[in-house]
Chains A and B, each alone.
Chain A
Amino acid sequence: MHLGAVDWSIISLYLVFVLGIGIVAARRNKSGTDFFLAGRAIPAWVCGLAFISANLGAQEVIGMGASGAKYGIATAHFYWIGAIPAMVFIGVFMMPFYYGSKARSVPEYLRLRFDEKTRALNATIFALMTILNSGISMYALAKLIQTLHVFDIPFERMGLPQAWIFHGAILTSALVVLAYIYMGGLRGAIYNEVLQFFLIVAGFAPLVWLGLKQVGGWHGLETSLGPSYTQAWHGMGHAATNRLGVDWFGLSMGLGFVLSFGYWCTDFLVVQRAMAANSMSAARRTPLIAAGVKMFIPFIVILPGLIAIALTSAPDKAGAATHPVAVAGAVQQHDPGVIPIKIDSATGQPMLDARGRPQLDYDLATPNLLLRYFPTGMLGVGLTALLASFMSGMAGNVTAFNTVFTYDIYQAYIRRKAADRHYVLVGRLATFFGIAASVAAAYLASQFNNINDFLQLIMAFVNAPVFATFLLGMFWRRTTGHGAFTGLAAGTATAAIHHGLTLPLDDIVGLKGGWIAVTYTYPSEMAQNFWTAIWAWSTCFIVTILVSLVTRRQPDEALAGLTYSLTPKAPEERGPWYTRPVVLGVIMIVAVVILDIVFR
């Protein structure tokens, strides 16, 4: 499949519009609040869609498709018991403190609530993480575009070697994102994220439609794949009887509580979109509106994976599940279908699993489906959707980075009192250097694949306990700065130790765990991750309480507006019922329970 003139026109049109929005947004950027917080003037529905879009990066779209092909519809747990409850919680309970405290970032909230060292810890780690994340997803996108071979012919015509497709993809995407954030700041990023959201839906929804049409609808999927793929709660009673390899307790505590609340309720990338809202009420509605849309995202990102696996004759299709699935068509060694066999880039040989069977390259599930179904015209739309998802994810990281760097690192430790204009300049420079560092990280990731895994692991250790700190800080006024800091450190240490003492089944000691001693074997990597998080969270929770009790409490006056019992309750919000956060929250929870029942 190669790009036609129409496909090129569509991609170019998209790039023109994205830059145009950056230029228009730039005209309204006069102050730091404009650049970093979009003037706190954005309506709730725009913030809500930006909120989803910033979390719908290329890695998410590709990764969720891959998981759909590997684990089936149970992947939707990342949304239905993962993201949605946490998004309802932040909208109903936590947003009043974030928005009401007038903090300009999450680390700044931590300084107001606790102390300088807790802020410094959070800000440094967060800044590093955003750079690495955008670098790694840039690498993934460039690699993918190269693998799809859609640009092979145009590059050949221009006399450029194939390796330049990789460089071209990285440079183009980096420069475009740089341009619209440099000019438009958060406002430019948010408006573009809304546009990108609609493009992502427009690109992936028809893919699901055509795919379902071919496999005979949802019913056809059920017949060809069986319950282990098409029932989200199938065999969740025990880790050995479902495809994820976790039981319901590990799933709901590890993923549903610790990891999801840790991300959706404390990550500045997420919170920043709500902080840009034009009122407290709009800020609280932002994650709730987002939740209402987010719960349906699995149907456009996970279903392509299921369709792809249904169209693939996989040797391990029945996988670890105890329910063997009849596979239509004979097993073919060379062309299994939509999802190809994974090839070791060093040797050029197929990669084999522990039992000597060829592994599938699940990451290509969604992209290959796109190449299969979209003729020229729609191909341009599909590629634009991929590009849009990548840019929205990257812009989310970059805007969060430039704000945290400027306010929580530069203003806090380098130059405390300067004119507002000076900080906007610093923010622009931070955007430039942040993206340059991301590009460097992308090339680093292309050189050493393990560095990537290693860094992700460290970040997981750091992130696991963090929700305990926020929960205690917001809802227990006795929590002290020393308590928070010690708790975070102890939680991170616990995560590392737990990882060092356990190993997933069939894995080798090292990056996967067991580097101290193997005292316990988990049925799957996912189970190990979830339990690492549960241990880290619990340790942080307990240590924070104990240390808080023996350290000097902060005076109540200093905590007004920052913690639950010392914040005056907002008057019952006026306006129609459907704009009230609590009502919206209940509706979202009921809706997600219904989805769980339908796909149980």
Chain B
Amino acid sequence: MIFDVRLPIGLLFLAIGLLVAAVGLTGDPAVFRAHSAGLNIDLVWGGVMAAFGALMLVLAAVHRRHTPPSVDEG
């Protein structure tokens, strides 16, 4: 069994990122104006986190394809 720590990192960041971005999409713009210097930080940072999560999943998948099953961790 290969365990690649990028897998759980990717999944968690993707999940949290999408969740936060969804809040940003549906949220009240007035809240962001009052709170976060006029920036919809939920949408922006949620997007950044989701993208990072996706990147980790891609890296894990590439690594898995290029590594024989006997090799440990990565």
Contacts and interface: CB of A to CB of B under 8 A. Distances in A.
A359 interface: no
A469 to B, nearest CB: 35
Nearest to B34: A375
Interface stretch (A20-28, A288-296, A421-429, A490-498): A20-28
Contact of B39 (A43, A213, A377): A213
A198 B14 CA distance: 13
Nearest to A46: B5
Given A6-B19, A381-B20, A381-B49, A191 B35 contact: no
Contact of A375 (B19, B42, B74): B42
A514 B5 CA distance: 51
B49 A377 contact: no
Given A27-B1, A210-B39, A375 B32 contact: yes
Interface string A42-53: 110010000000
Contacts of B31: 375-376
A41 interface: yes
B36 A375 contact: yes
Interface stretch (A10-18, A65-73, A526-534, A542-550): A10-18
Interface residues of B, number: 30
B47 to A, nearest CB: 12
A214 interface: yes
A374 interface: yes
Contacts, number: 97
A240 interface: no
Interface residues of A, number: 37
A599 interface: no
Contacts of A373: 35-37, 41
A43 B73 contact: yes
**A-B pairs with lowest CB-CB distance, top 9:** A377-B23, A377-B42, A377-B20, A375-B35, A214-B37, A206-B45, A17-B12, A191-B5, A213-B37
Given A373-B41, A377-B46, 11 more contacts: A13-B16, A46-B73, A194-B9, A195-B9, A195-B12, A213-B39, A214-B37, A373-B36, A373-B37, A374-B36, A375-B36
25 contacts: A6-B19, A6-B23, A10-B19, A17-B12, A21-B5, A28-B3, A41-B72, A41-B73, A43-B74, A46-B73, A191-B5, A195-B8, A195-B12, A202-B45, A206-B41, A214-B37, A372-B35, A373-B41, A374-B36, A375-B27, A375-B35, A375-B41, A377-B23, A378-B42, A384-B16
